[in-house]
Amino acid sequence: MLIYPLTDDQKLLLDLIKQIGEEYIKPYALEWDEKEIYDEKPIKALAHADLFGIIIPEEYGGLGWGSFEMCLAVEYLSYYCAGVSTTYAASFLGCYPILLFGNKEQKAKYLPFIATGKKLCAFALTEPQAGSDAFAIKTTAKKEGDYYILNGMKQWITNGGIADIYIVIAMTDPAKGARGASAFIVEKDDPGFSIGKKEKKLGLRASVTTELFFNDCKIPRDRLLAREGMGFIVALKTLDYARCGAGAQALGIAQAAMEVALKHATSRVQFGQPIYNFQAVSHTFAEMAMKIEAARALVYNVAKYIDSGAKDFSGASSMAKCLATDTAMWVTERAIQMMGGYGYMRDYPVQKYFRDAKCLQIYEGTNEIQKNVIARELLKYYK
């Protein structure tokens, strides 16, 4: 509803996303969801359009843009299918550690392939006993000569099995607790690395989520990111950058849900008139629009704040993720209610939007954890 000033390049970006969405996603999204299919065609289309290079510097073959452009792309992809946007955004999540903490050799080796979309990324932190309590990870990495030997497992990893590059957080010195974790680059063909079962999910079914197993997985020591003991710093900073993307996903889902429900409400006649004419219905849509625009303004502002070179934006990033994803959950639930029985049927997309939105309140840090971060950050300014 509101018009945000965009550059010509940003407008071109949205035109490309719309073209890909209309041709490669919209006709198939419900089928992919129903059959739990990952289809690589839209991902290849995004790669062909150079859209995997949004956050990657030009020197490595990227477009040299920032968080704001990433959010625009993710939001508009999510409008068509949040499962596809999850695959796309998760590759950025796996790319950020290399971009932020990789040395020159690591960046030169991996970033050009990521920028072209020839290699997808994944970020592997979560384990069965380590969700919100990330410090409870048990995967280990033992240094032996010029190699590290990884043992353990990761759970609920987006892009598991389809990614070529995995950023894995493992304990190099468990006795040091959080200071004993390190971050590693693992490649899909490394010996001792294998992919577990594909998870059956409530939503985001067009994306792939799996377990990862490390059984004496041997990787060269030059695949260590930063230095030993930096693992959780790598993870936390990566999530700070990525959470705006989750907020952007929520915007796309909420916008799509509102539009589908609005179309229904203006054409569905009951008691001799469109149901939109009833104040209880029209006021609900007014609330949807207000909440979506408020969340969009926050996500966009935080993304631009990150791009300004800000050093400390944990609280802001958490706000953007938490508010936008809570908004998407509320909007999609209301969209179903506004459509009544039609909204509950799988022939219509609003039930998919509702299921997709739920995961956004959980992954990349639950919204309860985001509130912990926000509350902690408040003390820096108002104590």
Residues acting as catalytic residues: 364
Q: Are 188 and 164 in contact (CB under 8 A)?
A: yes
Q: Are 299 and 244 in contact (CB under 8 A)?
A: yes
Q: Are 320 and 244 in contact (CB under 8 A)?
A: yes
Q: What are phi and psi of 237, to 5 degrees?
A: -65, -40
Q: Which token pair is 345?
A: 């049927």
Strands (E), the chain: 121-124, 140-144, 147-158, 165-171, 181-187, 193-198, 209-220, 224-225, 269-270, 273-274
Give strand pairing partners of 274: 269
Strands (E), 72-189: 121-124, 140-144, 147-158, 165-171, 181-187
Q: How far apart are CA 306 and CA 321, in angstroms?
A: 14
